[in-house]
Amino acid sequence: DVKVTQSSRYLVKRTGEKVFLECVQDMDHENMFWYRQDPGLGLRLIYFSYDVKMKEKGDIPEGYSVSREKKERFSLILESASTNQTSMYLCASFSVAYEQYFGPGTRLTVT
């Protein structure tokens, strides 16, 4: 059974702080994704990675960066957190059969 875990379920940070959200999958998937989920907007893709050290911008990459040093770990970085980055962040891992498996989500509040 695929397992995708995220480092925190709830996080509260101050404006201007650097924030790290980590995601780990245990199925040796090459593709990993970071989404943010906001009411009425669905899931929007921030960044994705199709291999170690490879990354591609999604639809809303501004204010975010990512790191993929190991295949199982994909990190989302908020360089200087702002209040409009308060959201639910979901990581996902993608199998060769195209099926996406989501992590439990991190609810980030920036004050």
User: Interface residues with other proteins (CB under 8 A)?
Assistant: 31, 33, 35, 40-45, 48, 50, 58-59, 90, 92, 94, 98-105
Question: What would the DSSP string read from start to end of 7-48?
Answer: S-SEEEE-TT--EEEEEEESS--SEEEEEEEETTTEEEEEEE
| Beta pairing, strands 10-13 & 19-25 | unpaired
Q: Which is nearer to other proteins, 78 or 90 (CB)?
A: 90
Q: Which is nearer to other proteins, 40 or 84 (CB)?
A: 40
Q: Which is nearer to other proteins, 16 or 104 (CB)?
A: 104
Please report how close the Cβ of residue 18 comes to other proteins at its closest, in angstroms: 26
Asked whether 91 and 6 are in contact (CB, 8 A), the reply is: yes
Please report how close the Cβ of residue 105 comes to other proteins at its closest, in angstroms: 6
